[in-house]
Amino acid sequence: MRVQQARHGERISIAMPIQVFGTEITGQDFMEMTETQILCRDGAAIISTHRLAPMQQITVRNLATGVEAHARIIGEMSAKPNSRVYGIALLEPDFKLWNVNFPCADGDEQRSERWLECNVCQGRELASLTTLECDVFHANRQLTRSCKWCGEPTVWNLAAHEASGDRRKLCEPPPKVAAAAAPEPEKTRAARKHPRVQMKMTACVREPGFGIDDLVQVENVSRGGLSFLSHNAYRPGALLEIAAPYMKGAENVFALARVQRVQLVPERQLNLYGVSFVKKSEL
């Protein structure tokens, strides 16, 4: 275990050996031996060679003590060709996973307030962010968090204008009464294998054997798949290669996916596709 330097407040830069259990964004289960970069009382920055989605859950084991705990992915903090650094938050913040004495004896975590805006409903909120949430936000200029109006996790950006407390009612949309009057049945939510995150980003879709790249707009993602809009026609059951997110000129990683559903969006003259990632063992 290598302690590199002490960080202010709740953070300590330390390479602690850990074991991580989880599921890749492609749906493939994994277990890997890795290490932390930063420790906090209720989370950490960890190194992983796998592609993980914000809000998904993983299990982390402290190899020095054998103690393990469940955590959720806050988001990606940095990336290298063969690995990524993710910020994670323990699902039980008071759980003693790290066996480390932190600089702040009183246990009060340093937080930072930011006016954030949901990129789906444009609702604004003065968010109190943890240190690691701030790190993820500064790395990506966005953060995935729960939206009380959308009723599910969405991507949040910095609000276009700094909003004061007096203007807050003008910045926040009213609660969606119609959605509250007819909530999604509990069985439907429980049956959903992977929670969805509303996320706008560009992806690249290819049909194996064809050299045509279709740049599409992703609507939402989960560990098991995603939905995207496209002018092109793909039949249900078709195998596709998808890189999400996609950046031109970068080393993009394509994963196999199968079209599960197709829905016409007449007002936009587009097709909405729902696809699930395919494991190699299923081919």
Question: Do 137 and 176 share a structural domain?
Answer: yes
Environment class of 108 (CB within 10 Å of its CB; exposed 0-12, middle 13-18, buried 19+): exposed
Distances (CA, A) of 158 to 35, 129, 228, 267: 31, 12, 24, 30
Q: State percent of the chain over pLDDT 70.
A: 78
Hey, what are 131's tokens? 């240190």
- pLDDT, residue 177, reads 43
- pLDDT, residue 71, reads 95
Question: Do 208 and 265 share a structural domain?
Answer: yes
HEC per residue, the chain: CEEEEECCCCCEEEECEEEEEEECCCCCEEEEEEEEEEEECCEEEEEECCCCCCCCEEEEEECCCCCEEEEEEEEEEEEECCEEEEEEEECCCCCCCCCCCCCCCCCCCCCEEEEEEECCCCCEEEEEECHHHHHHHHHHCEEEEEECCCCEEEEEEECCCCCCHHHHHHHCCCCCHHHHHCCCCHHHHHHCCCCCEEEEEEEEEECCCCCCCEEEEEEEECCCEEEEEECCCCCCCCEEEEECCCCCCCCCCCEEEEEEEEEEEHHHCEEEEEEEECCHHHC
Of 183, 216, 246, which residue constitutes the final position of a domain? 183
Question: Do 82 and 32 share a structural domain?
Answer: yes
**Mean pLDDT score, 5-31:** 78
Considering 91-100, 106-115, 181-190, 191-200, the range whose residues carry the highest mean pLDDT is 91-100
Of 137, 157, 183, which residue constitutes the final position of a domain? 183
pLDDT band at 74; cut points 50, 70, 90: very high
Q: Is 186's pLDDT higher than 70?
A: no
Q: Is 211's pLDDT higher than 50?
A: yes
Round the average pLDDT of the chain to a whole number and report it.
80
Q: Is 109's pLDDT higher than 80?
A: no
Of 132, 156, 183, which residue constitutes the final position of a domain? 183
- pLDDT, residue 110, reads 65
Considering 21-35, 104-118, 179-193, 244-258, the range whose residues carry the highest mean pLDDT is 21-35
Q: Is residue 82 part of a domain?
A: yes
Q: Is residue 65 part of a domain?
A: yes
Question: Do 170 and 233 share a structural domain?
Answer: no
Question: Do 201 and 178 share a structural domain?
Answer: no
b/e code 71-92 from CB counts within 10 Å (16+ = b): bebbbbbeeeeeebbbbbbbee
Q: Is residue 213 part of a domain?
A: yes
Residue 59 CA to residue 51 CA, distance in Å, equals 15
Question: Do 116 and 68 share a structural domain?
Answer: no
Question: Do 265 and 240 share a structural domain?
Answer: yes
Q: Is residue 191 part of a domain?
A: no
Question: Do 130 and 72 share a structural domain?
Answer: no
- pLDDT, residue 189, reads 41
Q: Is residue 104 part of a domain?
A: no
Q: Is residue 139 part of a domain?
A: yes
Question: Do 277 and 202 share a structural domain?
Answer: yes
**Mean pLDDT score, 82-96:** 92
Question: Do 57 and 8 share a structural domain?
Answer: yes
- pLDDT, residue 172, reads 56
Question: Do 203 and 161 share a structural domain?
Answer: no
Domain containing residue 202:
197-282
Q: Is residue 103 part of a domain?
A: no
pLDDT band at 199; cut points 50, 70, 90: confident
Q: Is residue 96 part of a domain?
A: no
CATH number at residue 39: 2.40.10.220
Question: Do 204 and 176 share a structural domain?
Answer: no
Q: How many domains are contained in the chain?
A: 3
